[in-house]
Amino acid sequence: MTTEYYREIIGNYLHQSQSLQLHWQDLFLPEIHRLTANLTNGSQIHALGSHLTDIFFLARALGVRNHGGVSTAGYIWENLVLVYLNMALSGTNGIALKLNSNLCPSTFRMATSVWHGNTKTNKETDLAVAIFPTNMRFPAPGPNYIHDLDTEVQRRINDIEYGIIQCKTNWNENAQIAMLWDMIYQFRGNNFRNLHGAGVTIGEGQVSVNNFRGNCITYSFVTAPTQNTRFSPNSLPVQRVRNLSGGNYWGRPTAAGVARSLSEIFVSNFSYAFQGATVDQSINNAIGNNHLNWVRNI
Q: What span, in angstroms and rounded, lies between the C-alpha atoms of 176 and 197?
A: 23
Torsion of CA 47, 52, 55, 56, to 10 degrees: 170
* Domains of the chain (ranges, CATH numbers): 3-296 (3.40.91)
Rounded Cα distance between 245 and 220, Å, is 7
Per DSSP bridges, beta strands 114-116 and 200-202 are antiparallel
For residue 189, is pLDDT > 50? no
Mark out the alpha helices in the chain (DSSP H runs). 3-15, 18-21, 29-35, 42-47, 52-60, 70-89, 106-111, 145-156, 176-185, 236-241, 265-269, 279-288, 293-296
Mean per-residue pLDDT over the chain, rounded: 90
Which tens digit of pLDDT belongs to each residue from 125-160?
689 999 999 999 999 999 999 999 999 999 999 999
Percent of the chain whose predicted confidence (pLDDT) is above 90: 72
pLDDT of residue 191: 47
pLDDT at 190: 43
User: Which helix (H) or strand (E) segment is 218 a member of?
Assistant: strand 218-223
Q: Region 64-72: what's the mean pLDDT?
A: 56
pLDDT in tens, 32-48: 999 999 999 999 999 99
Average pLDDT over residues 71-85: 92
